[in-house]
Structure 1
């Protein structure tokens, strides 16, 4: 197994489901975003998915889009981001950082260089939602050389053959989008919709040997509990950002404790 998958397997022996929290690098400022990441690690989250902002984050809902646009009012660069995340990774060895962004800024930085620098900074996974796997051979090779995992996404509307292909190629973990649409408000509460999510995850598990993370629309403890035994990681994005916007770090920490403890 990869370093990322090994970390997940070891952590899962201690917990029924792991927590992944999403933070936009540079929002509302670089210093404040790093302080928030540090606080999350101090609180014991298993993963932080750090989003390097892009002007057109097509998979994201309004909360994360607004945060990205605010962050981009500053001059940000990928190299500085990687170095700062590397410092956090060294200071908090019980957590792991996964870097998420869109293809444009990462392509400009250089995908080979990205994989190499991420590995040097102990960032074990990379998520590029708008990079099709069919066009990612060079990127995949660079990740393999550097020993880090490209994380692929599947959705409820991914065609079965393609879902099987993506699940089969997943290594660190497979990012299972819980519903169609962008990040934010949940659309899978209720018995009928939950049954549909259960069937969807069961279908993925038939094809994936890698761990499974579930995100998009998670806001309530019951949703986290319903994932136990069906997934390995629950990913908290827009709900955490909304709490942070309303009440700062304390409100965000309270949400995490309410959902995961």
Structure 2
């Protein structure tokens, strides 16, 4: 059983939801992830998405774009991201670690080589926002060969056919985009989010994790009532960028999520 599956099993047994945090590798400094990841996990995170910097991150809003540019200026490459995971594992980090990035750097690295090196370093899953599910066959096969979960996306605009395809091939969890737009902190969550998740839930028992726009503890609490996991990225990067109380922010998110004790809708 993979680390991701084991984590979901543990959370379900405890009646809890997952808190999944996104962190750009190389931000704010080249080796910051080596210090930040243990702090985030100690404060209550269950899984960490490690962002692989790319010059044209089309799904990202201003916050993560700025973090990505800083990371690129710090000399971060695909290889550096893989080595970051290797070092974190050597430090004793046992939680699921996922690489989230864009196709072009991975394709230049080589699909098979990328998956092989990622698995050897201790990566558990991959997330590529610009990979259409219907075109993911080559990468899915490589992930299967190397024991990696390939996380697929659905959005409020996803057709029934797209949702059916994703739920049929999903592993690890399904990334449910809460809004039609790019990443970034928002004041409110869309009112149709419960209906969107219900459409996906009817087709699968794979855990559903919601991301994009979740920036406040009350957002996390509301999402936890209808999903299996809560993903926070831009709001965390904002905290890091301004030197805020990162652990305090994560503990507030964790407490809000843990306020929800009933199972998510079946």
**What is the aligned partner in structure 1 of residue 231 from structure 2?**
235
Taking the TM superposition and a 5 Å limit, the aligned residue runs for 1:1-261 are 2-186=2-186, 188-189=188-189, 193-194=190-191, 196-248=192-244, 251-261=245-255
TM-score w.r.t. the length of structure 1 is 0.91
How many residue pairs end up in the alignment?
255
CA change 1:90–1:213 in 2 (3 A) is farther
Give the whole-Å Cα distance in 1 for the aligned partners of 2:50 and 2:224: 24
Cα–Cα, structure 1 residues 202 and 90, in superposed 2: closer, same or farther, change >3 Å?
Answer: farther
The structure-2 alpha-carbon separation of the partners of 1:75 and 1:185, relative to structure 1 and needing over 3 Å to count, comes to closer
Task: Give the unaligned 5+ runs of structure 1.
Answer: none
Q: 1:74 to 1:222 in 2, by over 3 A?
A: closer
1:135 is displaced (CA, Å) by 2.1
Q: Which moved more, 1:36-45 or 1:85-94?
A: 85-94
Distance, in Å, in 2 between the alignment partners of 1:27 and 1:20 is: 18
Q: Distance in 2 between matches of 1:31 and 1:93?
A: 15
Asked whether the 8 Å contact 2:100–2:128 carries over to 1, the reply is: yes
Q: Is the 8 A contact 2:208 2:227 kept in 1?
A: yes
C-alpha distance after superposition, 1:143-170 (max 9, x if no partner): 0011111111111111121112112211
Could you list the per-position Cα deviations for residues 163-190 of structure 1 after superposition, in whole angstroms to 9, with x for gaps in the alignment?
A: 121122111110001111011132644x
Question: What TM-score do you get using the length of structure 2 for normalisation?
Answer: 0.89
Tell me how far apart the structure 2 counterparts of residues 91 and 44 of structure 1 sit (CA, whole Å): 18
Distance 1:3 1:31, change over 3 A: closer
Does the CA contact (< 8 Å) of 2:38 and 2:93 recur in 1? Answer: no
8 Å CA contact 2:151–2:173 kept in 1: the answer is yes
| Partner deviation per Cα, 1:27-49 (whole Å, 9 max, x = no partner) | 12212232212321233411110
Cα 1:206–1:45 shift into 2, 3 Å:
same
